[in-house]
Amino acid sequence: MGGDGMKRQQGWGGGVMAKMVAALLTILGAVMTPAWAQGGPIRLVALGDSLTAGYGLPQSAAFPSVLERALKARGHNVVIANAGVSGDTASGGLERLDWSVPEGTDGVILELGANDMLRGVDPAVTRRALEAIITRLKQRGVPVMLAGMYAARNLGPDYARRFDAIYPELAQKHGLVLYPFFLEGVAGDRSLNLPDGLHPTAQGVERIVERILPTVEAFLARLRP
């Protein structure tokens, strides 16, 4: 083959190679870019216990489903996975974290600790587990919104002080959006709780979502800079 032929072949090969590289970068970019940046929904995971799972309620009345509907009604393109497990502690949530929060998750609403408190678990243990969850998610590039809990006052002032401090201190340390008390406006109201006095009714969940909605919207704003 003559010199001109060699140049034409090299030019053709270089052009094809450049196109292949460009195509590969486009594919990789699509894989690495959050779904919402590609026009898809923001994918959230609600990681929690029975308060998230919707104990005693149909799934359509559970917190993640009700919150998703409320956010969509306000124009947010979101999908919220229910990763609530009844009876779970903060340590239990840590153990199942990797499979409960799959790749492609854009953010996590973390609601754990109520069962630790009800069982009288040392607040230091709860704090370590929650911080390990937060740290691991941050390492994966998954932002966290923290939904707090207050201790029952019959556990004594020292326990209540140590437990209640977990959430605001972790939020401040890690720069998280914090909703101080998940059961705000519902705890202690018999009309909004099941007969056990611990789990919200469908109306109770609606109240929780109504109260927490502005904080979740602030969290979503962080996910879309």
Where would I find the H helices in the chain?
3-32, 50-53, 63-73, 90-95, 97-100, 114-118, 123-139, 157-164, 166-174, 202-223
- Average pLDDT value over all residues in the chain: 88
Residues 13 and 111 in one domain: no
Distance spanning both ends of the chain, measured CA to CA: 56
pLDDT tens figures, 111-127 = 999 999 999 999 999 99
Looking at residue 224, its pLDDT comes to 74
Residue 115, domain extent: 39-223
Residues 160, 208, single domain; the answer is yes
Query: Do 79 and 23 belong to one domain?
Result: no
Co-location of 18 and 106 in the same domain = no
Quote the pLDDT of residue 14.
47
The span from the CA of 70 to the CA of 89, in Å, is: 27
Tell me, what's the pLDDT at 38?
A: 54
Structure tokens at 172: 């401040």
Q: What 3-state DSSP class applies to 144?
A: strand
Q: List the catalytic residue out of 4, 49, 50, 174.
A: 50
Calpha distance 19→177 (Å, rounded): 43
Instruction: Tell me, yes or no, if 49 is annotated catalytic.
Output: no
The predicted pLDDT at position 169 comes to 98
Assess whether 196 carries a catalytic annotation: yes
Count other Cβ atoms within 10 Å, centred on residue 68. Answer: 21
Same domain, 3 and 89: no
Per-residue pLDDT of the chain (225 residues; tens, 9 = 90+): 444 444 444 443 445 444 443 444 444 444 444 454 557 899 999 999 999 999 999 999 999 999 999 999 999 999 999 999 999 999 999 999 999 999 999 999 999 999 999 999 999 999 999 999 999 999 999 999 999 999 999 999 999 999 999 999 999 999 999 999 999 999 999 999 999 999 999 999 999 999 999 999 999 999 975
DSSP assignment of 39-52, as one string? T--EEEEEEESHHH
Q: Are residues 188 and 83 in the same domain?
A: yes
Q: Are 185 and 211 in contact (CB under 8 A)?
A: yes
**Catalytic residue flag (residue 100):** no
**82 plus 184 within the same structural domain:** yes
Residues 58-101 have pLDDT tens digits of 999 999 999 999 999 999 999 999 999 999 999 999 999 999 99
Distance CA 99, CA 3 (A): 59
Judgement on whether residues 9 and 47 belong to the same structural domain of the protein: no
Domain count, the chain: 2
Same domain for 152 and 72: yes
Look at residue 225 in the predicted model and tell me its pLDDT.
Answer: 56
